[in-house]
A = this chain, B = another copy of it.
Amino acid sequence: MADDILALESFLPYRLNRLADAVSREFAGTYRDRHGLTRPEWRVFATLGQFGTMTATAIGAHSAMHKTKVSRAVVALEQRKWLMRTPDASDRRIEHLALTKAGVTAYREMVPLAKAFEKELLRRLKRAQATALMEGLTALEAGLLGSGAASAPGTAHQSITTLPELPLFMASKPSR
């Protein structure tokens, strides 16, 4: 590789981003059929499902989401009747957030799907002898982005099962 050229296919940040995006889209495909959550909504949902009751700030810190995203996701989940707010006894700025019964039910349905999805991801990694990080990334790229994607310009990406929309996790900027 010439020294004055940056080979994108092997540039770690680039690979990470393409890979993360492809994984999100793929997972969305396994899940979006059930309910149409946005990425922030899914994240808040999954965080509350895991930890039970939390404040909006805590969710944002844990999942690296901007507080406005959390705020809007909370509103959306609330309208969906999956989330409930409870005012704090001693500090009226704080709201304790938790999943409703319906939310917990949905969460219980989601968990096995997510685990199965991850298992499949890891299976692909294993099969490609993904022991080192770079090898692992390469294997995932090959599996998710199509074989030629990272090597030849103009290559189609048909192997990605077409996913019209619906993002899922995607981090964003944490509130400073």
Contact = CB atoms under 8 A, between A and B. Distances in A.
Interface of A: 4-8, 11-14, 16-25, 27, 43, 46-47, 49-51, 54-55, 57-59, 61-64, 108, 110-111, 114-115, 117-118, 121-122, 125, 130-133, 135-137, 145, 149, 152-158, 160, 162-163, 168-174, 176
Nearest to A131: B132
Given A13-B27, A61-B155, A133-B135, 19 more contacts: A4-B111, A6-B110, A8-B62, A13-B23, A14-B43, A14-B169, A18-B171, A20-B21, A21-B64, A54-B153, A54-B154, A57-B154, A62-B152, A62-B153, A130-B132, A131-B131, A156-B174, A160-B174, A162-B176
Given A117-B13, A121-B13, A122-B12, A171 B21 contact: yes
Given A111-B5, A132-B133, A162-B176, A11 B118 contact: yes
B171 A8 contact: no
Summarize A's interface: helix, strand, loop or mixed. Answer: helix
A115 B17 contact: no
Contact of A58 (B50, B137, B154): B154
A114 B13 CA distance: 9
Contacts of A131: 131-133
Contacts of A64: 18, 21-22, 145, 149, 157
Contact of A157 (B58, B136, B145, B174): B174
Contacts of A163: 173
Contacts of A121: 12-13
A47 B152 CA distance: 11
A13 B62 contact: no
B18 A19 contact: no
